[in-house]
Amino acid sequence: MKETRASATAQRVAMRRAAHQLLDDPKVFDDPVALRIIGKESASALQANPHQFEATPLSPYLRAFLAARSRCAEDELALCVRRGVSQYVILGAGLDTFAYRNPHPQGVLHVFEVDHPTTQTWKRKRLDEVGIPLPNDLTFVPVDFETQTLEEGLRAAGYDPDKVTFFSWLGVTEYLTAEAVMATLRFIASATMGSAVVFDYMLSPSLLTPAQRSRFDALAQRLALAGEPWQTFFDPGLLTRDLRAMGFGYVEDNGPEEINTRYFKNRKDGLRVGSLSHVMIAKG
Ligand X SMILES: C[S@@+](CC[C@H](N)C(=O)[O-])C[C@H]1O[C@@H](n2cnc3c(N)ncnc32)[C@H](O)[C@@H]1O
Point out which residues bind ligand X (CB under 6 A). Answer: 1, 7, 9-10, 13-14, 92-96, 115-116, 119, 143-146, 170-172, 175-176
- Closest to 64 in 3D by CA, of 224, 217, 204, 256: 256
Q: Cβ(72)–Cβ(168) under 8 Å? A: no
Residue 124 or 241 having the CB closest to ligand X: 124
Minimal CB distance residue for ligand X: 94
Residue type, 234: F
Q: Beta strand 277-283 with 196-202: parallel, antiparallel or unpaired?
A: antiparallel
Residue 115 or 137 having the CB closest to ligand X: 115
CA dist list (Å): 95 to 26, 80, 130, 156, 233? 23, 23, 13, 22, 23
Residue 187 or 247 having the CB closest to ligand X: 187
- Closest to 89 in 3D by CA, of 138, 30, 29, 145: 138
Angle at 9 between CA 93 and CA 180, to 5 degrees: 60
Residue 145 or 248 having the CB closest to ligand X: 145
Dihedral sign from CA coordinates of 187, 190, 196, 198: positive
In the bound complex, what is the minimum distance in angstroms from residue 88's beta carbon to ligand X? 13
Residue 89 or 176 having the CB closest to ligand X: 176
Both ends of the chain: CA-CA distance in Å? 30
Residue 143 or 282 having the CB closest to ligand X: 143
3-state percent breakdown (helix, strand, coil) of the chain, nearest 5: 45, 15, 40
Neighbours of 284 (CB within 10 A): 19
